[in-house]
């Protein structure tokens, strides 16, 4: 996610006209053992935002987007009409491997991306949640969403229910999901959600929704040390 908005900054400052940005990550014994040590790996399929959630599943993959300047976009025959309208990185520095219970970093990232885009919370149509399925992450992210969007919540879901947590690839993969959601009017289901969290006043989408009119999609990528980034993709016209 940080690579994507760094690329956008390079383009906006006339340093580049075209950038390929995203992330990749692969599973290793070192990674798996590290997360096992933290006792946050679910031996079953993960259940983000489910009350008795047990932890995350690790995944691997890669996801990249191509960003271009307005000059290049104007010359393209198959221009997508989708822009990266807002982005922000924040860090609450709460803990090495946990988010603050209040979701401070999450809130700052989302609100900062909205401010840069010139949008209001009510303009967001769908949130691709960070949604790892750990006890700490989901309540922290949910608390931040409640603080920012209450009382009107956009539709939201965690696509990590399909991919697992792909770590360094997740921001890129979920950026691709967000762009595809805008292009095809799709909202992905939050798989295996059975018991909504009592502490949160919203429930993620549990069934795939098609032909949805989407204008603005928020994609969250939150990491260790409170390192939080949010991207907003918008459909032009």
Render pLDDT for 136-195 as a digit per residue (tens, 0 to 9): 999 999 999 999 999 999 999 999 999 999 999 999 999 999 999 999 999 999 999 999
- The least confident of 52-56, 75-79, 122-126, 134-138 is 75-79
Above 90 in pLDDT, residue 235? yes
Mean pLDDT over residues 62-86, rounded?
94
Whole-number pLDDT of residue 223 = 86
What letter does residue 1 receive in the DSSP assignment? -
What is the rounded (10 degree) CA torsion for 89, 66, 156, 31? Answer: -70
Whole-number pLDDT of residue 111 = 98
Mean pLDDT over residues 1-5, rounded?
97
Residue 101 banded pLDDT, cuts 50, 70, 90: confident
Mean pLDDT over residues 120-135, rounded?
98
Structure tokens that stand for 90 in this block: 């924040």
Above 80 in pLDDT, residue 10? yes
Among candidates 219, 207, 151, which has minimal Cα distance to 182? Answer: 219
Mean pLDDT over residues 101-130, rounded?
97
Looking at 150-230, list the stretches that DSSP marks H as alpha helix, in order from N- to C-terminal side.
160-163, 170-184
Sort strands 126-128 and 155-157 into parallel, antiparallel or unpaired: parallel
Distance CA 76, CA 184 (A): 20
What is the rounded (10 degree) CA torsion for 14, 20, 26, 31? Answer: 20
Among candidates 56, 66, 114, which has minimal Cα distance to 90? Answer: 114
Whole-number pLDDT of residue 99 = 87
Structure tokens that stand for 144 in this block: 């931040």
Above 80 in pLDDT, residue 237? no
Residue 217 exposed, middle or buried by CB count within 10 Å (0-12, 13-18, 19+): buried
Residue 75 banded pLDDT, cuts 50, 70, 90: very high
Distance CA 9, CA 12 (A): 5
Whole-number pLDDT of residue 180 = 98
Whole-number pLDDT of residue 54 = 97
Whole-number pLDDT of residue 98 = 85
CB of 128 closer than 8 Å to CB of 220: yes
- The least confident of 66-70, 82-86, 94-98, 114-118 is 94-98
Question: ω into residue 151 within 30 of 0, thus cis?
Answer: yes
User: What rounded mean pLDDT belongs to the chain?
Assistant: 96
Whole-number pLDDT of residue 50 = 98
pLDDT > 90 fraction of the chain, expressed in percent and rounded: 91
φ and ψ at 101, to 5 degrees?
-55, -30
Residue with tokens 């790892």: 132
Whole-number pLDDT of residue 224 = 83
Strand order, beta sheet including 227-235: 82-91, 227-235, 216-222, 126-128, 155-157
Distance CA 194, CA 158 (A): 14
Above 90 in pLDDT, residue 225? no
Distance CA 129, CA 131 (A): 5
Distance CA 18, CA 7 (A): 9
Mean pLDDT over residues 31-60, rounded?
97
């Amino acid at each position: 996610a940080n690579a994507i908005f760094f690329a956008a900054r390079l383009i906006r400052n006339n340093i580049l006209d075209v950038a390929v940005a995203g992330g990749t990550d692969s599973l290793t014994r070192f990674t798996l053992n590290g997360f096992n040590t933290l006792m946050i790996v679910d031996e079953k399929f993960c259940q983000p935002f489910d009350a008795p959630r047990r932890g995350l599943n690790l995944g691997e993959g890669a996801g990249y987007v191509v960003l271009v300047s307005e000059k290049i976009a104007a010359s393209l025959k198959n221009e997508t009409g989708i822009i990266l309208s807002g982005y922000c990185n924040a860090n609450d520095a709460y803990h090495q491997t946990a988010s603050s219970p209040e979701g401070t970093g999450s809130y700052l990232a989302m609100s900062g991306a909205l401010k840069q885009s010139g949008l209001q919370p009510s303009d967001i149509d769908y949130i691709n949640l960070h949604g790892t399925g750990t006890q700490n992450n989901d309540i922290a992210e949910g608390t931040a969403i409640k603080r920012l969007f209450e009382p009107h919540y956009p539709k939201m879901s965690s696509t990590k229910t399909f991919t697992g947590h792909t770590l360094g690839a997740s921001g890129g993969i979920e950026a691709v999901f967000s762009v595809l959601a805008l292009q095809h009017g799709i909202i992905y289901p939050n798989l295996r959600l059975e018991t909504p969290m009592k502490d949160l006043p919203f429930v993620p989408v549990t069934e795939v929704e098609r032909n949805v009119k989407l204008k603005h999609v928020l994609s969250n990528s939150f990491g260790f040390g409170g390192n939080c980034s949010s991207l907003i993709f918008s459909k032009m016209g």
